[in-house]
Amino acid sequence: MTATSLVRTRRVALAGALSVLAVAGLAGCSEDPDAGTNGVGKLPPEQIQSRTQQAAASVAAVHLSGTVVAGGATYKLDMRLKSGGSTGSVTADGASFQLLRVGEQLYLKAGADFWTHEDGKDGDAASDTAAADKLEGKYVKVPQGDPAYQRFSGFTDKNTLLGSLLTLHGTLATDGHHEQGGVRTIRITGDDGSGGTLDVSLEGQPYPLRLVRAGGAGTLVFSDWGKDFAVQKPPKGETVDYGKQLPTS
């Protein structure tokens, strides 16, 4: 083979290789982003929202974490929820406490600083401190007629909490394919995001995975869908029951 023919052969081979790469690149760019998924990414946004609401309602348990802004206060939540009970922690106004619900019975466990702050009334400082110290680290049973029950029980009720959270406001639209915690998602929005955004899993069941609430009212992440956990009444020696109303000064 002459030098000229050798160069021509190499040029033909190089051109062929570049053609193959170009075709492969075009094929890669045209891949279906919904291939191998549960298919909800191809649905209209209204149907995606409906499917994720149904999926969330059908499963027994979920882990919820993030922030919720309500009534002018910001609550940081880390809760495990199921129909028969819930457990987790809440931080609000710099005070942290634990919530435990077993059936309809709600228990609150916190440090002395929480009880001093929660009372919020002027009184005998020594008496207030003594009462707070007595409650520190105890599971205080919250009477159902006490305002605190209504205030905190909503954080422990899976169906009520998710039912109020998983509806976006305004005109719904899809906002592309994304990822949350290593899971592929389809994102839907309300009013271009001002009405909230919701990332829905494209793998397995179409569970909600991340919610940004409308009006900057918090961001929540959902995980461990269907993963059960145990809840049981705290030991009597660690429980304080004040009857029909929590103590005040």
pLDDT tens track for 175-185: 999 999 999 99
Q: Comparing 57-71, 105-119, 187-201, which segment has the lowest mean pLDDT?
A: 105-119
Overall fold of domain 40-225: outer membrane lipoprotein receptor (LolB), chain A (2.50.20)
Close Cβ partners of 161 (under 8 Å, ≥ 6 residues apart):
64, 81, 154, 155
- Residue 118: the pLDDT is 58
pLDDT exceeds 80 at position 59: yes
pLDDT band of residue 245 (cuts 50, 70, 90) is low
- Write down the pTM of the prediction: 0.79
- Residue 80: the pLDDT is 97
Question: How much is the mean pLDDT over the chain?
Answer: 84
pLDDT exceeds 70 at position 129: no
pLDDT in tens, 206-243: 999 999 999 999 999 999 999 999 999 999 889 988 76
Distance CA 82, CA 207 (A): 15
Domain ranges of the chain: 40-225
Q: Average pLDDT of 110-118?
A: 77
Residue where the block lists tokens 């890669």? 28
pLDDT band of residue 93 (cuts 50, 70, 90) is confident
DSSP string across 25-72:
HHHHHT--TTTTS-SGGGS-HHHHHHHHHHHHHHSSEEEEEEEEEETT
pLDDT band of residue 2 (cuts 50, 70, 90) is low
pLDDT in tens, 6-35: 445 555 454 554 454 444 444 445 588 889
